[in-house]
Amino acid sequence: MREARDRPDDDAAPRLLVVGSGAAGLTAALGAAARGARVTVLTKSTLGHTATDWAQGGIAAMTRDLPGGQPLDTPQLHARDTEAAGAGLCNAEVVRGVVADSPEAITLLTEHGVSFDRVAGPGSPWVQGLEGAHSVPRILHAGGDATGRVIQEALTARVREASASGGMSVQEYTLVTGILQRGGTVSGVTARSVDPAGRLGPEHVLAAEHVVLATGGAGHLYPFTTNPEVATGDGIALALRAGAAVRDLEFLQFHPTALAEPGSFLISEAVRGEGAVLRNHRGERFMLGVDPRAELAPRDVVARAIAAERASAPGAHVVLDCTAVPVPDGLTRAEHLARRFPTIDQALRDRGIDWSREPVPVSPAAHYLMGGIATDAAGRTTVPGLWAAGECAATGLHGANRLASNSLLEAVVFGERVGRLVAAAPADPASWPASDRHDAHPTPSDRHTTCGSTAPFTRAALQAVMWQGAGVVRTEVGLAETQRALDGWLAASSSEGPRADAETLAEHEDRNLLTVARELVRAARQRIESCGAHHRADDPASTGSQCPTPSTAHHATRGTDGAGHPGTPSRADTTLPGGHHHVSAPTSTERTAHAAPLSR
């Protein structure tokens, strides 16, 4: 761990608020604090309750030049695999930079206390697995299938140590409700405490020169997800209300293999990398006829194939068959699976499934959002002083489809990068990269969007609508129906929709989910071709392997509350203590998205 230099007691050091406590947020916090910044970490739950903690598969890295690394790998190979998975929408500069920084990311995690699995103890080569669309085994693991948890625990311990010694502060159970701006740059946030019953306390202001959003994804837009319950699109909704650009929200990755039972959980792609195969209800290994890479094809290909098999006949199902997984000498298959995948093994056995002998029913589930808050290669958004890292950010690394196990890598690389830059960066708007922003006025159709037959809002209703119309396979008809339902909820009275003046955490999360859902569906309707993880069944001519339409960023028009309820007072430019201004999102009847390229 890097030693923190002496921090001045006055206001000379930049005040940084990090919103979120996964790998990206904590890496940014530690990096900035080590360079003298005054850092506060804010999280609506506990430090350890994150998507990072749930990550099983591992972390991809180019380790050729590290002791115990993969001698067959090269930066060019890792970059090529990443760009191939991204279907032509990756930012080549970002890809090269992340791959180049990947050895440093592994070294940094090791310094923070992460012990990656090795073949035969200390000094031996790392165990590096092969996953879908990777050309060589380059996936490092820690604790078998508990890589994310090991990383989360190590970073959490470092942050708690720093907090105990005065190196930074931590505020758990604190929900950030808005981004404050003054003079064209970020000046802090508004926040509310969360009590054990989920009730929100009074809103208060926290001043800062910089804010890093590292809040994770929005998996709970859907009824089937591999994400923890905290993944409700909070950072993306905050950015939209602050006037920041978002990009590529149509690209949401559905993991092919979640347990197809209530309370589903991820069954890592690494299991297929070890030799497990997929079979349909007739016992056929159907992926052989779908893609030359079979079970190790890109996730979107496998997810669509599983969805098609499950929809092919009443009661049709797909199972993961581990009975052909090679077993090392001296072990039974059950022992090998338990050692290699202890988390999955225990979860399945708790449900009475012996996966060493019997097939495991699987289904696609919402897993990872490639799109998010548009950033440049430094992690800067289009709002001066506002940064983003991790899953809530669209950095350009993933393009239209994320290469397996690149997410933890991106989180650590961008977290460290943002932490380093924030400690030295002014928040002066003149020093910030500009975006070509052209916010148009609302059109008549935007003003009068209604849906009189929409059922009362519940999160379950939202999830069902999104799964049906904006799920693994999409059409214009389905997306239009989904948008009408979302517009109906947004236009409904507070008694029927998520309240802008939410008094509980769940109500505020519902509001954020609905805000993100509407922008996701709009982006999906605008991209009429299949591309990467965005599959349009009404575009049969497209293979989806390359995106003919370039990536664009868009904004939500500023001016009114993000929940979009008629009669809700506008909070735009509301003066708060200290001269801050609270910038909120538009109503559903006033908001419109406008394509504009983000300068990089």
Instruction: Measure the CA–CA gap between 16 and 40, rounded to whole angstroms.
Output: 6
Q: Are 544 and 531 in contact (CB under 8 A)?
A: yes
Q: 139, 121, 122: which is closest to 130 by C-alpha?
A: 139
Would residue 299 show up in a list of annotated catalytic residues for this protein? yes
For the chain, the C-alpha Rg in angstroms (whole number) is 23
147-164 and 406-422 helices, crossing angle to 10°? 20
Instruction: Measure the CA–CA gap between 235 and 10, rounded to whole angstroms.
Output: 30
Q: 304, 231, 261: which is closest to 463 by C-alpha?
A: 231
- E-strand spans in 152-261? 169-171, 174-182, 185-193, 204-207, 210-213, 246-247, 252-259
Q: Are 224 and 471 in contact (CB under 8 A)?
A: no
Q: Which of 299, 310, 380, 499 is catalytic?
A: 299
Q: Are 113 and 283 in contact (CB under 8 A)?
A: no
Residues 284, 289, 295, 298: is their CA dihedral positive or negative? negative
Q: 26, 17, 10, 42: which is closest to 427 by C-alpha?
A: 17
Q: 22, 11, 101: which is closest to 63 by C-alpha?
A: 101
3-state secondary structure of 118: strand
Q: Are 552 and 247 in contact (CB under 8 A)?
A: yes
Instruction: Measure the CA–CA gap between 534 and 473, rounded to whole angstroms.
Output: 8
Q: Position 330: which residue type? A: G
Instruction: Measure the CA–CA gap between 132 and 268, rounded to whole angstroms.
Output: 11
Q: 246, 22, 244: which is closest to 153 by C-alpha?
A: 22
Instruction: Measure the CA–CA gap between 390 and 412, rounded to whole angstroms.
Output: 8
3-state secondary structure of 378: coil
Instruction: Measure the CA–CA gap between 275 and 268, rounded to whole angstroms.
Output: 12
CA angle 225, 228, 233 (to 5 degrees): 80
Q: 180, 587, 555, 600: which is closest to 373 by C-alpha?
A: 555
> For residue 104, how many C-alpha atoms fall within 13 Å in the half-sphere facing its CB?
14
> For residue 150, how many C-alpha atoms fall within 13 Å in the half-sphere facing its CB?
20
Residues 109, 113, 116, 121: is their CA dihedral positive or negative? positive
- E-strand spans in 183-317? 185-193, 204-207, 210-213, 246-247, 252-259, 277-279
Q: 383, 388, 28: which is closest to 236 by C-alpha?
A: 388
Active site positions, annotated: 299
